[in-house]
Amino acid sequence: MGSNTLEIRQLNTSFLTQKGEVRAVMDVSLDVPEGKITGIVGESGCGKSVTAKSVMGLVKYPGKVMSGEILLDGRDIRDIPEKEKCALRGSEVSMIFQEPMTSLNPVIRIGKQVEEALLLHKDIPKEQARIRTVEMLESVGISDAGNRMRCYPHQLSGGLRQRVMIAMAMICRPKLLIADEPTTALDVTVEAQILRLMKKLCSGGTSILLISHNLGVIAQICDYVYVMYAGRIVECADTVTLFDHPAHPYTMGLLRAATSLRQDTEILETIPGVVPNLLHLPKGCSFAPRCGSCGDRCRGEMPLMYEAGEEGHMARCFMC
């Protein structure tokens, strides 16, 4: 059995706002095993991005990682000095975002940006860096990379910019890639290409944490999945088990909603109600107000993660 590239233990991240403490991430624990793609899925506002940013040390004021451990190859990186963290970012851990312009500089040619990501972390001659850059751009499917390197980000389509960002994230061969909704802004044919690329990276030895609100993306490439709801992990299982035998009513609702589009039904499945405001979480299970199987106990007490059948399958629900 392989080891875990990333382990998150009991992570709590809050935003200390004027209206009170917004607990965006609560007691989140998860593993990203070596050479696998691990997914986090959930509706927007569930805390997926804040979890990723907590790992990267990118949570900004008034947000704060309150407690927990973030272990990269067994080493806790939560409290290392900012300088060391900077050195880790890009070389050992890289992140790609939904909107590539958050990581691309609009006034620098894309080739130079990718090359500098490499030169910053690796001590290699410039000439060699250039060659590696062209190779990297080509391997993410940018044709005519030698010339395209000279483009500025705005001269490229969204799909190409996303590829440049992936090239930049991958050029130092990090152990861990965190991809936050990497294809959400892209069209289906480009999305499929980017996912194929991520699979290739993974078989090349990079462990991936893939965040998406789209169950289609998760089903297509993840090995193992965590489902998040209102700041907490509510279910985890290997991908096939999760889709074949979901145990948490929230996961079931998400799946029914996604599959009903493909069935010949007039009325589509939905989940009644909305994601709760994190400032006013209900007592007991956060999903209780929207849950069809909710009982008295659910309204009074927060369920823990319980075994749900198969080994490695857990759900935060009294009914499972």
Ligand X SMILES: Nc1ncnc2c1ncn2[C@@H]1O[C@H](COP(=O)(O)OP(=O)(O)O)[C@@H](O)[C@H]1O
Stretch that binds ligand X, among 16-24, 78-86, 163-171, 308-316 (CB under 6 A): 16-24
- Phi, psi dihedrals of residue 195, rounded to the nearest 5°: -65, -40
Closest among 27, 51, 152 to 101, alpha carbons compared: 152
Nearer to ligand X, 49 or 207 (CB): 49
Choose among 287, 285, 289, 288: nearest CA to 304.
285
Task: Say if residues 110 and 160 touch (Cβ distance below 8 Å).
Answer: no
The site partner of 105 among Mg ion, ligand X, other proteins, none (C-beta below 5 to 8 Å per kind) is none
Ramachandran sector of residue 90 (left: φ over 0; alpha: ψ -120 to 50; beta: rest): left
Does residue 261 belong to the site contacting other proteins (CB under 8 A)?
yes
Single-letter code of the amino acid located at 78: R
Question: Should residue 279 be labelled a site residue for other proteins when binding is judged by CB under 8 A?
Answer: no
* Long-range contacts at 143-149 (CB < 8 A, ≥ 24 apart): 145/111, 148/110, 148/111, 149/109, 149/110, 149/111, 149/112, 149/114
Quote the least distance from Cβ 135 to other proteins, whole Å. Answer: 18
Burial of 185 (0-12, 13-18, 19+ CB in 10 A): middle
**What is d(CA 64, CA 50) in angstroms, rounded to the nearest whole number?**
10
Q: Which does 22 bind (CB under 5 to 8 A by kind): Mg ion, other proteins, ligand X, none?
A: ligand X
Asked if 213 is part of the footprint of other proteins (rule: CB under 8 A), the reply reads yes
Find the shortest distance in angstroms from Cβ 91 to other proteins.
Answer: 30
Map the footprint of ligand X across residues 261-300, applying CB under 6 A. Answer: 278
The structure tokens listed for 268 are: 């589509």
Residue 161 contacts ligand X per CB under 6 A: no
Minimum distance of other proteins from residue 178's CB (angstroms): 20
Rounded Cα distance between 297 and 277, Å, is 21
Binding-residue total with other proteins (CB under 8 A)? 45
Residue 289: asked if its preceding bond is cis (omega within 30°), the reply is no
Tell me whether residue 135 or residue 187 sits nearer to Mg ion (CB atom).
187
H/E run at residue 256: helix 249-260
**Interface residues for ligand X in 123-142 (CB under 6 A)?**
none
Site residues for ligand X, 39-78, by CB under 6 A, read 42, 44-50, 63
Window contacting other proteins (CB under 8 A); options: 105-113, 124-132, 191-199, 298-306: 191-199
Residue 158 binding result from other proteins, ligand X, Mg ion, none, given CB thresholds of 5 to 8 Å by partner type = other proteins
Query: Which part of the chain contacts other proteins (CB under 8 A), choosing from 110-118, 164-172, 209-217, 291-299?
Result: 209-217
Q: Would you give the binding string for other proteins spanning residues 106-145, x where CB under 8 A is met? A: -----------------------------------x-x--
Q: Which of 13, 49, 207, 239 binds Mg ion (CB under 5 A)?
A: 49
Backbone angles phi, psi at 114, to 5 degrees: -65, -45
For residue 173, what is the DSSP state? -
Q: How many CA atoms lie within 13 A of 96 on its CB side?
A: 28
Nearer to ligand X (CB atom), residue 213 or residue 245: 213
The site for other proteins (CB under 8 A) is made up of 43-44, 141, 143, 157-160, 187-193, 195-196, 213-221, 239-240, 243, 253-255, 257-262, 266-271, 274
The site for ligand X (CB under 6 A) is made up of 15, 17, 22, 24, 42, 44-50, 63, 278
The site for Mg ion (CB under 5 A) is made up of 49
